[in-house]
Amino acid sequence: MLKKYFLLLSLLAFISCKKSAVNPAPDEPPFTDPEMTYIDLTGKSVAMDQSLSIDFDKNGKFDILFMTERRAYDGNTKSADVFMVYNGLACNLATNMANETTPDLQKGNKISRADLPNHEWYPVLGFTLMQKVSTATQTYWEGSWKDKDHRYLPLELIINGQTHRGWIELFADTNSGKIVFYRAAISKTPQTKIRAGF
């Protein structure tokens, strides 16, 4: 009986120590950031009744336009100061069609269509980043970008038929009631993946 007990104990010890035959996942190679063209937007902001356009390729046409507008709802019992972004014909913005928002990326997030699988890319769109809603009894802010600081709006720019990826770093600040801008960048190399903030 004692022999059977030790045999069973030895068998259990052997099974528990047996190594898994699963191969480890290969390490991802280090990411090499492509050369970028940067635009310094320090000191620029958009408050109500203001706008800012960015022309990445310097062809005299806006690629991205940030602007505001006032809207009235429910028989003029509710109003909103709306902060929006529009893209031009040669610029694609990523959109989540389920909730009609554009992503707010953190520094280091990769930008490519494969890295944003739940989004579709379109030209000539408009997105509400945030809005200040006022009723007879309350005022409040809403929107997917509200109070997001040092976040990155990804974009694609078509230059000579090729896609260059880029980003705009901004802060949708409800305390000051404006969008504050830091930097923008566009890749010098077409068809390449980039990282937000690099």
User: From first to last of its 198 residues, what are the pLDDT tens digits of the chain?
Assistant: 444 444 444 544 544 544 445 565 666 678 899 999 999 999 999 999 999 999 999 999 999 999 999 999 888 889 999 999 999 999 999 999 888 899 999 999 999 999 999 999 999 999 999 999 999 999 999 999 999 999 999 999 999 999 999 999 999 999 999 999 999 999 999 999 999 999
| Cα four-point dihedral sign 102, 108, 114, 117 | negative
Beta carbons within 8 Å of 147's beta carbon, 6+ residues apart: 141, 172, 173, 174
CA 163 to chain centroid? 17
pTM: 0.84
